[in-house]
Structures are given as C-alpha cells and as structure tokens.
Amino acid sequence: MGLDISTSRIVFVIVIGLFAWLATQLLTKGFVIAVSTGTPTGKRLTTLTGLIKAALSILIIAIAGFMILEEFGFNLAPLIASAGIVGLAIGFGAQALVKDIISGAFLLVENQFSEGDEVEISGKRGKVEKITLRTVRIRDKDGTLHTIPNGSITMVSNFSKK
C-alpha cells in the first residue's frame, strides 16, 4: 500500500516544518548578534534569542497547521477572516495584555536590565530570573519570587549597571 497524494503532502509539510524549526533554532543567535547595535551581553543575548525562537516556533507551527488543514479539505478563507475579527475583539478586551507585551518589547530593545541583574521594580528588589514579553520575575533575598507585569513597570533601578 503506497501513500496517497494527500498523505505524502502532509508528511512533506511536517518534514519541511521540522527543517524550518531546526534552522531557526540554529540561526537565531547569529541573527540577534548581527542586528543588535553593539555586541549584546550574554544575558541579553540569551533573553532575545529565547523570545525570537519562541515566536518563530509559533509561526512555523501555525503555517504548517494551516497547510495540513488545507490538505484535509478545510476551507481556510473563512477561518483566516474570522481570525482577524476575533483578533480585533480580543485586542479591545485585552488592552492590559497588549500594554504588557509592548512594554516588554521596549524593555528588551532598550536593554534596561537583563536576566541575572540586581534590580528594584515596583518596590521589589531582587535578582531578575526571567524576562518575557509579558512579565518580569525577580527573586528577593528571602527567596520570594515576584512576578511583575511589564505594563505596570514605571521605574527600574538597576544595581548591576553602575
């Protein structure tokens, strides 16, 4: 029993998707170094590389998923059109989330602080454990982990950059 045309196309999409994913995993660090002004520090490079890898992975999965759905005979035009409308509705309903993401992008681009830095944010002082587009996690000296939404950050004191 041989593969029919639809199954072989699905396998092809999966193989190309995996190849694209592996390529992004290997090339992202070089890309971040090439487009950064100056040489990014190790902590900043790690943060930016992780975020770009995650975004590209989601994009590759979405594209491959749409291509596979199309092979199963789904009409994607109404799905894509409704996604735009749903995205607009979610945008209005999730303004705080959008604010967090935009603020997070600026925090990373401006290199205000990096993972491992000693900072004070919103009255909480500690070491930055994780920076995402939506939140910053800092651990204080008592071991308490504070998760701060990026949209609520109005001032940062970075004790690692003196």
Model confidence band, residue 145 (pLDDT cutoffs 50, 70, 90): very high
Choices 2.30.30.60, 3.20.20.10, 1.10.150.120, 2.40.30.30: CATH for 107-158: 2.30.30.60
Both tokens of 101, joined, read 């993401």
Higher pLDDT, 67 or 34: 67
Q: What is the average pLDDT score of the chain?
A: 82
Output the six-digit token pair for 41: 């520090």
135-139 and 124-131: which strand pairing? antiparallel
Q: What is the C-alpha separation between 13 and 65, in angstroms, rounded?
A: 9
* d(C-alpha 13, C-alpha 53), whole Å: 20
Contacts of 141 (CB under 8 A, 6+ apart): 126
Residues of the chain with CATH 1.10.287.1260: 5-93
Residue 55's contacts (CB-CB under 8 Å, 6 or more residues apart) are none
**Nearest-angstrom CA–CA distance, 114 and 94:** 26
More confident residue, 8 or 120: 120
pLDDT at 1 over 60: no
Fold of 5-93: Helix Hairpins (1.10.287)
pLDDT level of residue 85 (50, 70, 90 thresholds)? confident
Spatial separation of the C-alpha atoms in residues 6 and 24, rounded to whole Å: 27
135 CB burial (10 A radius; 0-12, 13-18, 19+): middle
Whether pLDDT at 99 is above 70: yes
Q: Percentage of the chain surpassing pLDDT 90? A: 20
Which residue has better confidence, 138 or 110? 138
**Mean pLDDT, residues 54-79:** 86
| Range list for CATH 2.30.30.60 in the chain | 107-158
Mean pLDDT confidence for 107-111: 78
The pLDDT confidence band at residue 58, using thresholds 50, 70 and 90, is: confident
What average pLDDT does this structure show over 24-52? 71
pLDDT band at 103 (very low <50, low <70, confident <90, very high): confident
- The residue behind tokens 């992008």 is 105
